[in-house]
Chain A
Amino acid sequence: QVQLVESGGGLVKAGGSLRLSCAASGFTFSNYYMSWMRQAPGKGLEWVSYISASGTTEFYADSVKGRFTISRDNAKNSLYLQMNSLRGEDTAVYYCARDQADMSDPWGQGTLVTVSS
C-alpha cells in the first residue's frame, strides 16, 4: 500500500538547521509531485513547499522562502526538506504528502520540529 514515513524532526535552537526526510513506498515515486505541509501546535494546516516529479521545479511559501530547500532522490524514493535559519514560528509537525489531481494524498504521519529560543 502507499506509505509515506517522515523522519528527522527534533529539538533545535533558533538559527539552527535540520533536514527532514520522507521515505515513500507502494507507488512509482518518480511519477508524482510531492509536497511538505506543516501544522503548528493547536493551529491549522500550512503548505510549505512542493517539488515536481523530476525535481526541476520547486515552489515555496513566502514564510520559508530563502530558508528552506526541498529536494528529492527518485532513485531512493525519498523526499527531503533542508531547513536553515530556523525560527520559533517554524515549530510544527511537518508532513510530506503525494500530490495528484489537485489534492495531496496520502499524508505521512508527521515529524515534530521544535525550535527553542
Chain B
Amino acid sequence: SFELTQPPSVSVSPGQTASITCSGDKLVDKHACWYQQKPGQSPVVVIYKDDKRPSGIPERFSGSRSGNTATLTISGTQAMDEADYYCQAWDSARVFGGGTKLTVL
C-alpha cells in the first residue's frame, strides 16, 4: 500500500483561490479523487479521476495532477466551501490522505 500526504490546514479569504495538495510516492500511476466533508455530514465527491467534476458540483472546484502530486483548486472560494477535504487514490486498497481543514476567513 502507499500513503497520501495533505497539509493539515489551509486558510483563504472569501473570493480568493484555495489550493490543497495531496502527494504520494505512487500517485503518478493512479487517479486521485477528492471529497468534501462538512461537520456532521457524510463525505461528498467534488473531483474524481484527477480532474473530473461530478454533476452538481460547482465549476469553481477543479482538480489537477502532476507527477506524484494532485491538487484541488477552489476558485472564488465562498464561505460555504469551509470544510474538511480528503484526497483518495485507488490501488488494491483504497487510501485516504489525512485531510485538510479549509478555513475561509
Binding site for B on A (CB under 8 A): 35, 44-47, 50, 59, 61-62, 95, 101-110
Of the residues B33, B42, B54, B99, contact of A44 by C-beta under 8 Å: B99
Of the residues B33, B84, B95, B98, contact of A103 by C-beta under 8 Å: B33
Query: B23: which A residues are within 8 A, CB to CB?
Result: none
Residue of A nearest to B34 (CB): A103
CA distance A59 to B93 in the complex (A): 7
Q: Mark B42-80, 1 if CB is under 8 A from A, else 0.
A: 111100110010100000000000000000000000000
Taking residues whose C-beta sits less than 8 angstroms from the other chain, chain B's interface range is 20 to 34
Contact between chains at B45 and A103 (CB < 8 Å): yes
Given known contacts A44-B86, A45-B86, A103-B88, A108 and B42 CB-to-CB distance under 8 angstroms: yes
B interface, by DSSP: helix, strand, loop or mixed? Answer: strand
Query: B1: which A residues are within 8 A, CB to CB?
Result: 62
Given known contacts A44-B99, A45-B35, A107 and B42 CB-to-CB distance under 8 angstroms: yes
How near does chain A come to B82, taking the closest CB pair, in angstroms? 17
Contact between chains at A105 and B45 (CB < 8 Å): yes
CA distance A27 to B39 in the complex (A): 27
Query: A109: which B residues are within 8 A, CB to CB?
Result: 42
Query: B26: which A residues are within 8 A, CB to CB?
Result: none
Given known contacts A102-B33, A102-B90, A47 and B96 CB-to-CB distance under 8 angstroms: yes
CA distance A110 to B44 in the complex (A): 13
How near does chain A come to B54, taking the closest CB pair, in angstroms? 7
What are some 8 contacts across the A-B interface (CB < 8 A)?
A44-B96, A45-B35, A59-B92, A101-B48, A102-B33, A103-B48, A104-B94, A107-B42
How near does chain B come to A56, taking the closest CB pair, in angstroms? 15
Given known contacts A103-B33, A105-B54, A45 and B45 CB-to-CB distance under 8 angstroms: no
